[in-house]
Structure 1
Amino acid sequence: MDEANVSGSNPAIEEMSFEQALTALEEIVTQLERGDVPLDQSINLYERGERLRAACQKRLDSAQARIEKIVAGSDGSPNGSTPLDGGA
């Protein structure tokens, strides 16, 4: 992500796929970790990063709900639902 993207030519988060949003978030984190971004731009990056994080979390929560619905029995009761991370 370059400075031009930060100034307003970013695609709308709602129009991004999960993968695009995650990649954009990773790019923002990289820029902020480098520490060579001016303060005002850092604040803008952080705000966009928070919106991207929230959008990704919302999509993950939605996917989890869909998966749990798929593994539910025909009567709606749990039918072998397991955590997405494979944990016990």
Structure 2
Amino acid sequence: MPRVVCLECDRHIAAGMVAGRPGKGRLWRHDPTERPELFGDALVSCTGSLEIVDLPAPGEQLEFTDIDEPQPEHEPVGPMGTMALF
């Protein structure tokens, strides 16, 4: 999974894709960095957990580009004036 910087705690957190939204992901749940000092053993999530964020390049839609391929000098013609398909 790609890693994205959480806007709340500035840590790199894994982001899973969001169905129906290409290029978007949801941050995984993670603890704030100051959790042990402030909250002890309590389970507390960072406020940036489960936030929807933009994914890095692998989530982008692919684009088609034109490639200039050399054209044959003449097309092969079959016995009845037809061209081969394969």
The answer to whether TM tops 0.5 is no
**TM-score for the superposition, normalised by structure 1:** 0.28
The structure whose Rg is larger is 2
Name the structure with the higher strand share.
2
**If the length of structure 2 is used for normalisation, what is the TM-score?**
0.28
- Greater per-residue helix proportion: 1
